[in-house]
């Protein structure tokens, strides 16, 4: 067989094999030029080595992508990224739902008062009553800027029921209504080895007790707030400064900030399936505030047993300027 025929056969074989090896060259002209350059090599061993190099498939570089963020409880609750997003229009729990058959107070507020006036007469209260809290939220807008941010609406209602005060018709003593709208934004900034600044929230909240302008017992206010969420190992810390806005005239509770201050602190410590919560606020200038310690322990599914101790001002709006210590026991329902 002539050298010319051998080269033609080699060239044909190489082109056939290269047709199955598309990773070598996207441009057919470049491929033919490489084959022809191999053909021009006179030494048989070097020419064969040249064809071998053409037939080698180069390693495709693997695109390096950042791995998924660690899903912790704060990520999961606030749905901070694509791993935890669950869409708009779904109803989720917000604050734990509470049902308590027994709430005891050492100092029931039988004649509420405020700078706008005082209840016309004392109302005899039983120191033991029931309470219930409903708190739900839903997402209105998912990722308003790029792949970050959510807009939420939440509604919380808490009722205090004099269920054992049958001599006075067992009335509902107080009901508080708290609608709010807020945005939540992912931050994800490490703070040392053990903590991360996970999220920040901005919102507007209204709180009232639905008493209209009833002298001495009507309560209502609005405020803007921020919520800074820090996550440690099994610990969530929320710092929530606020500023009062949209004051009403007349103002039913002009001095409410003397007792509620200008922000609060919320700490959640997760203990396996249980959790311990601390809520606290203080106005440094008046030295008035409150502290509440609550413990949730598992019963069945999302249902937990619940026990709390509160001391200070403002457990409810009617009591914003009334100091008392309360102990509450019941059940709670929430999703981690």
Query: Do 188 and 43 lie in a common domain?
Result: no
Which of these is catalytic: 100, 131, 208, 308?
Answer: 208
Does some domain include residue 156?
A: yes
Does some domain include residue 61?
A: no
270 is catalytic: no
Domain of 34 in residue numbering reads as: 3-55
Query: Do 19 and 168 lie in a common domain?
Result: no
Does some domain include residue 68?
A: no
pLDDT digits (tens, 9 = 90+) for 190-218: 998 899 999 999 999 999 998 876 667 88
Spatial contact of 271 and 252, defined as CB atoms under 8 Å apart: no
Query: Do 117 and 28 lie in a common domain?
Result: no
322 is catalytic: no
Does some domain include residue 141?
A: yes
Query: Do 45 and 77 lie in a common domain?
Result: no
Does some domain include residue 63?
A: no
Query: Do 48 and 90 lie in a common domain?
Result: no
pLDDT digits (tens, 9 = 90+) for 18-50: 444 444 444 555 655 665 676 667 665 676 677
pTM above 0.85, yes or no: no
Query: Do 33 and 120 lie in a common domain?
Result: no
Continuous H helices in the chain: 3-19, 28-39, 44-55, 73-78, 256-260
pLDDT digits (tens, 9 = 90+) for 58-115: 555 545 555 555 668 888 899 888 777 777 888 999 999 999 999 999 999 999 998 8
Which of these is catalytic: 170, 183, 206, 270?
Answer: 206
Does some domain include residue 50?
A: yes
Does some domain include residue 186?
A: yes
**Which of 119 and 171 is assigned the larger pLDDT?**
171
Does some domain include residue 66?
A: no
Q: For the CA atoms of the chain, what is the radius of gyration?
A: 34
CA distance 281 to 260: 7
Quick one: which of 165, 227, 161 has its CA closest to 198?
Answer: 227
What is the mean predicted confidence (pLDDT) over 136-147? 88
Query: Do 110 and 174 lie in a common domain?
Result: yes
Question: What is the pLDDT, as a whole number, of residue 26?
Answer: 45
Name the domain count of the chain.
Answer: 2
């Amino acid at each position: 067989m002539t050298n010319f025929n051998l080269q033609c056969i080699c060239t044909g074989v190489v082109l056939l094999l290269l047709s199955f090896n598309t990773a070598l060259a996207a441009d057919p002209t470049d491929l033919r030029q490489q084959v022809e350059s191999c053909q021009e090599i006179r030494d048989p061993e070097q020419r064969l080595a040249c064809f071998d190099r053409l037939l080698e498939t180069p390693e495709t570089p693997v695109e390096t992508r950042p791995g998924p963020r660690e899903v912790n409880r704060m990520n999961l609750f606030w749905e901070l990224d694509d791993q935890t997003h669950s869409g708009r229009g779904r109803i989720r729990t917000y604050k734990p739902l509470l049902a308590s058959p027994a709430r005891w107070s050492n100092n029931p507020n039988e004649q509420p008062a405020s700078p706008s006036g005082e209840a016309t007469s004392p109302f005899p209260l039983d120191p033991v009553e029931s309470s219930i809290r409903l708190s739900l939220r839903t997402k209105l807008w998912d990722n308003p800027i790029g792949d970050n941010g959510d807009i939420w609406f939440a509604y919380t209602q808490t009722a205090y029921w004099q269920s054992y005060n049958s001599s006075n018709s067992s009335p509902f003593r107080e009901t508080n209504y708290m609608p709010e709208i807020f945005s939540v934004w992912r931050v994800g900034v490490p703070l040392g080895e053990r903590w991360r600044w996970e999220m920040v929230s901005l919102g507007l909240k209204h709180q009232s007790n639905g008493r209209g302008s009833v002298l001495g017992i009507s309560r209502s206010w609005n405020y803007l707030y921020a919520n800074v969420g820090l996550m440690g190992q099994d610990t969530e810390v929320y710092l929530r400064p606020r500023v009062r806005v949209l004051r009403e005239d007349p103002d039913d509770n002009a001095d409410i900030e003397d007792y509620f201050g200008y922000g609060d602190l919320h700490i959640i410590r997760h203990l396996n399936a249980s959790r311990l919560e601390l809520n606290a606020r203080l106005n440094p200038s008046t030295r008035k505030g409150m502290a509440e310690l609550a413990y949730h322990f598992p019963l069945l599914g999302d249902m937990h047993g619940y026990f709390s101790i509160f001391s200070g001002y403002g457990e409810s709006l009617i009591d914003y300027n009334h100091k008392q210590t309360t102990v509450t026991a019941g059940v709670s329902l929430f999703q981690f």
